[in-house]
Structure 1
Amino acid sequence: MRKKRAVAAAKAAGVDCLLVTHLPDVRYLSGFTGSNAALVLAGGRAVLFTDGRYTAQAKAEAVGTRVVIAKKPAVAAACEWIDAAGVKRCGFDATQTTVAALEAMRKAVSAKLRRGIFQPVKPLVAGLREVKDVEEIAVMRKAASLGCRLFDGMLSFIQLGLTEVAVAAELEHAARLAGAEAMSFETIVASGERSALPHGRATQVKLPRRGFVTLDFGVIVNGYCSDMTRTVHMGKALPGEREVYDAVLEAQEAGVAKVAPGVTCAEVDEAARSVLRRAGLDKYFSHSTGHGVGLEIHEGPRLAAKQTQVLEEGMVVTVEPGVYMPGKFGVRIEDMVLVTAAGGEVLTPSVKAWIEL
């Protein structure tokens, strides 16, 4: 069914063939999880090209897809097949294809076809991936649930004297023991003044006697990512810190409440951002409100100002407003939210209320 939808999307884009080289797209359409592959969709044919390392794996995973073990680069072999098949217009994802890669694709076909055979198209497969099916949602629930259990466990681990790296290492170790294939991205642990860094990677800095600690992390289960952020406080809060936390929490919950089919991404962003604006904190909110999650940690749609894309049932997005005050502190709270017919369902329901450790 996925391949049929991709073929239909390619036809609507004016091409009679689709060359897929972005590995998450290849996996989505064929099931193949190897690190080297190209997939060709031409009419009713689907052909996967990879190398000899994946002979058994490709045949086991890519059910319903012809597998070709190439003796040359997979993309080059795929282009030669496209040429031999008489394809006139082959679409490729321009957002995932470098100038050098396109030149190599052209060199792999006959000279008479080099100028016009490859046609850039919008990310067709990535667009299909934005709406998750029942099986994908079930896997993402597992990933999100595991993330919640990990955070709950960290609350009894975090203590004065530990380094940010030690906290990240404990979380990642627990994740692997609990069945995660890997982390969705490099775990963020940012404490004290460093909590004002939206992407503060864990360092050897020790957790403060008094101050915020932000944990932003995700796990991969069966190829699908989770993503969540919680901010806790070490010791008693100074004047203003609790007020900022409460404003971010209110903004985050307002964004979650806005999620529903038919709502634009900009409307969700504004729901969260307007709360911070009323609190006089919007100038410290320096990124978009959220993004899609799936086989990649950052997918469409993007929840941001001026984004007119409409949310659809089956999408999974993050809602993650934050306030970052350089030299002082930062707060971010993030949930994964499933778009359902009834609205937004939070997949990461770990506690978000104020926590002092």
Structure 2
Amino acid sequence: MVNIPFNKPYLTGNEIKYIEEAVKSGKISGNGDFTKKCQNFFQERYDFGKCFLTSSCTDALEMAAILLNIQPGDEVIIPSYTFVSTANAFVLRGAKIVFVDSRADHPGMDEESIEALITSKTKVIVPVHYAGIACDMDKIMELSRKYNLAVVEDAAHAIDSFYTGKDGVKRALGSIGDLATFSFHETKNIISGEGGMLVVNNNNYQKRAEIIWEKGTNRSAFFRGEVDKYNWVDIGSSFLPSEVTAAFLWAQLENLDRIQSKRLQLWKKYYEVLNSEDIKHTLNLPVIPKYATNNAHIFYVVTSNIQHRDEIIQRLKSKGILAVFHYISLHESPFYRSKVKDENQNFSNLERYTDCLLRLPLFFELEPEIIDQISKTIDETAEIF
């Protein structure tokens, strides 16, 4: 029996209180007071552009694809080592997905491989900030300007994480690209069960984003008194979360600093105990580039081979501890393979992460003693591998 899960959602104590307030307010369908509180929080704390809470990060990505007017045949560059929603949102609009390899030192996309993939049909680059660690956004934004491409930051992992550019300015992830998407799924640092957010940093997209968010209508403009009635004016969908979801999220945001502080303590504990000479010669620990901060979303190790990874999983499971691998490379997925017949690109780095990356339990209530036990178990495998 598993006694220590991979993830355990943390409740701050005010979630039920705020949900009750939302219900009693008589306004629970979305875009009410709690929605506005959450959106204003992000805009003010992180210098984001206009923020729109959504029912999921998947919804936010789908909004982005509509907003960028993706058409059949357009090409979108994304890492293969990511969740399916990163690709699927653009596939739904008819785009061709062009996958890029991971870095040798990190599961994030290899920025040096992007330019060779750009064609006259390329419309968007989607950097995914894996484990909350920034991609090299200077390089990506330079390509954006050079080839007139939109940039959508997939910041699902990256709440409260930052990037310092060549100009020395420290910017929150999600504030750099034209658009950005976040997740508040129960596995994330800050949660609302399901939930997400679209950030619109490019002012040219803000007005239309609100219309798409409101099912293709100018309903929000109507409630502000800017038009005398609202109409169907564009395509869109039901992307708004309910006020119940926003109320839950607000309770989390009030405690963001406390949650982040505890997660960082646990992350550093992992790094300390696994950085011993006995262990580290058999696996690689996370790499944090100088330009990036660490938000302690994931603590992962990369083992010497798939057999080593599986051995660690089984030994931890026998002690009631659940550790899990992560993404299966999207370029190897049945869906993608059914569409693309002649893919000859080299994905040697990300195939290593598919086979060898292992995520260890990390959640607010995790006890440091469990980290010691996990380290000891991993140490036991070092003699074998």
Question: TM-score by structure 2 length?
Answer: 0.23
Identify the structure with the greater strand proportion. 1
Q: Which has the larger radius of gyration?
A: 1
TM-score where L is the length of structure 1? 0.25
